[in-house]
Structure 1
């Protein structure tokens, strides 16, 4: 196929652009897969943390650790030229899920 239509556009896109989009999207798909696998590994570790916290009756949340992690991630984001606010939102989302898991483990 030498031509394709861009999403929402009536202009033809040349073959080089289509090939480049396909290549870049393939890379994005690979990165997304790696992120999913890394998150799965991270959650395996946090599940173990949750079991230890439950065993020793520690609270599911650790605000001091969370603040340290957020600051550490913001610094990493800046050095990687990623928006630190985005990195913080992403980590807060993960932390909320981890705390939810820890609460579930503690109730079991």
Structure 2
């Protein structure tokens, strides 16, 4: 006899407890990722403000290349597809540069002072 207890989800569907446990774990990891990304963007916001005040360009191709190489190595060590890791980082960097460009434009609009 199967001793596993099924859990009822929305819509009356039943899910194996192991599947529910795994999904709960995924949900927790997703929440952690969102919080980590929020922290990362708080840091990059400050970087963007500093770059704008010191007239540095929003993009830093050398830094970005080093970060990609570093992340690819980390991904390989974690048994994650390095191409996926690079795509993920490129997506984040593109958004960071967009934010930095906006910060620079805002600083220029108010005569070099950040908000």
User: Does the 8 Å CA contact 2:44/2:96 hold for their aligned counterparts?
Assistant: yes
Paired positions, count: 98
Structure 1 runs of 4+ aligned residues shifted over 6 Å read: none
RMSD: 1.9
TM-fit CA distance, 1:3: 8.1
SS in 1 for 2:16: helix
TM-score (norm 1): 0.85
TM-score (norm 2): 0.80
- 2:21 is aligned to 23
Q: Unaligned stretches of 5+ in structure 2? A: 9-13, 107-115
User: Does the 8 Å CA contact 2:48/2:100 hold for their aligned counterparts?
Assistant: yes
Which of residues 76, 79, 88 in structure 1 aligns to 2:77?
79
Q: Deviation per CA, 1:23-69: give whole Å up to 9, x if none.
A: 00000000000000000000000000000000001000000000000
Hey, what's the Cα distance between the residues in 1 that align with 2:64 and 2:46?
A: 17
